[in-house]
Structure formats: structure tokens, C-alpha cells
Amino acid sequence: MIRFVRSVGSQALERLAGLGRSTVMWATAIWGLPGPGDLVLVLRQIYHVGVLSLIIIVLSAFSIGAVIALQFYTQLSRFGAEDAVGLGLALTLLRELGPVVTALLFAGRAGSAITAEIGLMKATEQLSSMEMMGVDPLHRIVAPRLWAGIISLPLLTAVFNVVAIYGGVVVAVEWLGSDPGAFWSGMRDAVELWDDVGKGMLKSVAFALVVTWIAVFQGYDTEPTAEGIGLATTRTVVLSSVMVLAMDFLLTLSMYGDF
Amino acid sequence: MPEKNLIEIEGLSFKRGDRVIFDGLDMVVRAGQITAIMGPSGTGKTTLLRVIGGQVRPDSGSVRVGGKDVCLMSRGELFELRKDLGMLFQSSALFTDLSVFENVAFPLRVHTDLPEDSIRDLVLMKLNAVGLRGARDLEPSQLSGGMSRRVALARAIALDPSLLMYDEPFTGQDPIALGVLLSLIKNLNQALRTTSLVVSHDVRETLRIADYVYVIADGVVMGQGSPESIASHESDRVQQFIHGSPDGPVPFHYPADDFVYDILEDAAG
């Protein structure tokens, strides 16, 4: 019993110490950038984590938009309400699925890559050698990736929303023959700029902060071995996904929960 | 013979978990000399370099580099100090996303405002010094182990540091690469008028180039002196290390229960 309590206590302390280290790292890195000379580092990382994620985002968005439109059309047409497909699609995407699915895909595609890259740099002593050259890896390596993630994820979310709506249009309007006027006007009447678009993007920024934070910390704090990097990469995807889903519930509750 | 001490270590103690790495270690590195730190694997030689560079904070003691105690320095002061240090890592630690040229140019680009022409000239001079001017456009993945280490050396001397630290520079090198590294360390120390600290357990090679040698084990200095005096040192432990005897004060066997008891216990189930 005492051994169990001791083990729980020790693990809790370890987790707390990790949280402390990650907070210090995050704060040090995020305030260390960007100077004008560092802009190119951020732009390079935006290319790696943002531009290179575009393909998976676009393909997933089109597919998800098409599936949602199909489901809405199938159910709503039973009540003769297929004109509401546009507004249902837009609200579902802008408020929930856009930010959440983009963040999940981003964690899997870019978050894992960031963790593996930083972890491998640690294992091959590149971070240590940088430190010994008088260059702070928190500013040179961690900060550009943090900022790139924070900038890229909301932009990817916007792309996701646009492409997913297009996917819905292809299915509902082009294929199943919904009235295009009713589709677009229903969407325009229902969607509010701040309540739907703005709050959705706000969620995306919050997810970006957390996902990139987890990704860079897992890489920076990893055990510098092959096994350690593998575990850290897995932890990034699992932790990020759980955090995104949990945060989404809390954010939705605080933004839309008017009970 | 230069008289000034570049590094002064007093009463250095450091533990990793329950394991004592340094137990009141004292050491002095004279400016302009090649000082070798030798000792069996796992005695904390690399950790000592990291302590000197401020990457590892000791539990107690003082480590003064150029008169300033690195243990008392802030993060910013440490990064400032390190601009004047060069370190050659055992793994070379080249940046894999940069070419050979860009690896050597990295510290110059980060720490100076030199125009591109000057950076190019300096990089080519450093690469020429290690014999790899012709490899400037190669990627790190295209280099052999010896070449990687020479590129890393060119990068370490890019800013003409006052102190060059070498972490196991001879490990895994073929005889030619080893000879090249030995002459480079010796020649660069003279040409750059720098101070070199070589951590190694390659006895013969290290004794050939060192001006002064420390042998450390069990967290303390077991022996010190010129290469000649170390070769004939009276300590059994130093002699075992220098001559590579498989058994002696450092036992062949890792501490364990009695062998017969171990076997019988297993047989008894």
C-alpha cells in the first residue's frame, strides 16, 4: 500500500516537474522571437508545418464536407428540408469540425514531425553543440516552430473550412440537386461573423498554442535514444488529440453554452 | 611556458541520482597548453567538459573560466562566454539540414555582422585548415566519420576561440584519420594560440600531443603531470589504465554475488 502511494506521489511529482519545465521552455521561447533577422526562420518553418500540411488538409476537408452534406441531405430530405443543408454544413464546420479536425490532422502530420526533428537533433547532440556555440536552441530551434504552428494552424483551419464547404456543394448541389440559391442563402442567413467564424478561429488559435507547445516540448525533453524519440512522437499525437478534444468541449461550453 | 591559468576547478562535486560523478575534484588548465583528461569510460570526462561549458551545474565547488565562475553565471552570461569556446563533440554534431559550408558559416552568421564575402573567405580558410575546402558543397550525410569530425573542428574554430574542447576526438577513427586529427589538434593549438582540453581514453594518441595530463577515476584526480611522468606514475590505478590491464584495481567483473552461490541458487529454483 505504502509502495503504491509512493509510486503515485512520485509520478505526480514527475508530471508536475514536466509541466513546470514545459512552461518555462514555452515562455522563454515565445518571448525570444521574432526579431527581424529571425523572420526567415519562422517563414521556413511555416513552409514545413503549414504548406506541407496543405495536401492532407485539403483532401480530408473535401471528403468530410462531402460526407456531412450527404448525411444532412439524406436526413433532411425526409422532411422536405434539404434547403437547410447549407446552413447545417457551414455551422458544423465553422464551429466544430473545422478547428477540431484540422488540429487533429495538424498534430498527426506536423506535431509528430516537429517532435521527431527536435528529438533527433537532441540525440545527435546538435542542440548541445548549438548551446556550446553560444546560440540558444530555445530561440533558434524551438521558437520558430512554436510561432510557425501558431500562425499556420488557424490558416489551415480557414482552408479546411473553405474546401469542406466546397466538398458539400459538390455533393448537395452538383450531385444531389439541391437548389443552389437556397443552399447559399440559408448559409448566409445563419452564419454570424463573430459567433461562428470568429469563435471557430479563436478555438483554432487555442488549439495551435497547445498542439505546438506539446510537440516542441516532447521533442526538447525526450530521452535522446531511438526508443525515446519514438515514445515522444507517440505522446505528441496522443496528448495533442486528447487535449484538443477536451479543450473543444470546454471552449464550446464557454462560447455557446447559454443554459 | 605560459603561466596564466585559463580554467581553475576547485572542490567540484556532482552526483547523478545516487551515483557520485565528482567528489571534490581539483584541476587547473594552463593557457596555451594542450591538457588531456583521461580515465576509464563512465568516469565523467564528458560531464566535466559540460560543467566547464556551463551546460551542467555541479552540486558544489567552483569552475572558473578566464577568472569567472561559470557556476554563478546567468543564462545570458553563459551564452556570452560560450562565444569564446569551441567544442568538438564525439558525434561531430553537424547540423544535418546545412551543407558543410553552411555548418562552418553558422557561428559567423549568428555572432557577427560580417558581409557575405568575408564570411565566404573565412569559411574557406577554416575548411582549408582542416583540408576540406574541396568538400564545401557536400552534405553531412555524404561525409565519412573522419571528415565529419574535421568539418566540426573547422566549425569549432570559426570564431577563433580561446578554449577548444575535444570530446573523445579519436574514437572510431581509422589510422589515417587519426593521424590527421592528431596533427590538426597540435597545429591548431599553436597556430591559433589557443588552449586545448582533450578528453580521451586513447592513451597512446593522447600522450603524444598533450603537454599536461590528468587521469581521473572515482570522481577525483588519480594522477597528473607531464606525459612522461604519467607513463611512469606510481599509482596502480593509473598504471592499469595506461597499460590497459584487464584486471587490477579496477576489477574485470562488475560487482555481483558470489558466482557459485549464484549458480546454485538458480539450480535450486
Residue of B nearest to A136 (CA): B79
- Give the containing element (helix H, strand E) for B173: none
Residues of B in contact with A131 (CB under 8 A): 53, 55, 79, 82
Q: Does A10 touch chain B (CB under 8 A)?
A: no
- Name the grid cell of A21: 519545465
- The mean pLDDT value for B78-96 works out to 93
Question: Measured between alpha carbons, how far is B108 from A199 in angstroms, rounded to an integer?
Answer: 45
Question: Measured between alpha carbons, how far is B26 from B63 in angstroms, rounded to an integer?
Answer: 9
Question: What pLDDT digit, counting tens, does each position of B8-60 carry?
Answer: 999 999 998 888 999 999 999 999 999 999 988 888 999 999 999 999 999 99
- Give pTM, 2 decimals: 0.86
- Give the pLDDT score at A69: 95
CA distance B87 to chain A (A): 7
Question: What pLDDT digit, counting tens, does each position of B135-157 carry?
Answer: 999 999 999 988 999 999 999 99
Is residue A171 a contact partner of residue A73, using CB atoms and an 8 Å limit?
A: yes
Give me the residues paired with residue B36 across strands: B198, B213
* Cβ <8 Å between A128 and B55: yes
Residues of B in contact with A48 (CB under 8 A): none
- Give the pLDDT score at B268: 66
- Name the grid cell of B128: 582549408
Q: How many residues are recorded in chain B?
A: 269
Cα atoms in the 13 Å half-sphere on the side-chain side of A22 = 20
Question: What pLDDT digit, counting tens, does each position of A225-240 carry?
Answer: 999 999 999 999 999 9
ipTM value: 0.84
- Edge-to-edge strand order for the sheet containing B163-167? B85-88, B163-167, B195-200, B34-38, B212-217, B220-225
Residues of A in contact with B166 (CB under 8 A): none
Dihedral sign computed on CA atoms, order A103, A119, B140, B185: positive
Per the prediction, chain B carries an average pLDDT of 89
pLDDT at B1 > cutoff 50: no
- Give the containing element (helix H, strand E) for B6: strand B5-16
Distances (CA, A) of B189 to A5, B29, B51, B102, B230: 57, 14, 22, 24, 22
- Give the pLDDT score at B241: 81
The closest of B74, B92, B90 to B82, measured between CA atoms, is: B74
Decide which of A30 and A212 is more confident. A212
CA distance A177 to chain B (A): 52
Residue keyed to cell 588548465? B29
CA distance A43 to chain B (A): 16
Helix A98-106 / helix A199-220 crossing angle, nearest 10 deg: 20
Question: What pLDDT digit, counting tens, does each position of B159-177 carry?
Answer: 999 999 999 998 888 888 8
Percentage, residues of chain B above pLDDT 90 = 64
- Kindly state the greatest CA–CA separation across chain A: 70
Residue from A133, A138, A139 whose CB has the most chain B CBs within 10 Å, to mutate: A133
Which residues in B have their CB inside 8 Å of a CB on A?
50, 53, 55, 75, 79-83, 85-87, 89-91, 93-96, 106-107, 110-111, 152, 155
- Count contacts between A and B (CB, < 8 Å): 53
Is residue B194 a contact partner of residue B161, using CB atoms and an 8 Å limit?
A: yes
Concatenate the DSSP letters of all residues of chain A into one string: -HHHHHHHHHHHHHHHHHHHHHHHHHHHHHHT---GGGHHHHHHHIIIIIGGGHHHHHHHHHHHHHHHHHHHHHHHGGGT-GGGHHHHHHHIIIIIIHHHHHHHHHIIIIIHHHHHHHHHHHHTTHHHHHHHTT--HIIIIIHHHHHHHHHHHHHHHHHHHHHHHHHHHIIIIIIT---HHHHHHHHHHH--IIIIIIHHHHHHHHHHHHHHHHHHHHHHTS-SSHHHHHHHHHHHHHHHHHHHHHHHHHHHHHHH---
Residue from B79, B92, B153, B159 whose CB has the most chain A CBs within 10 Å, to mutate: B79
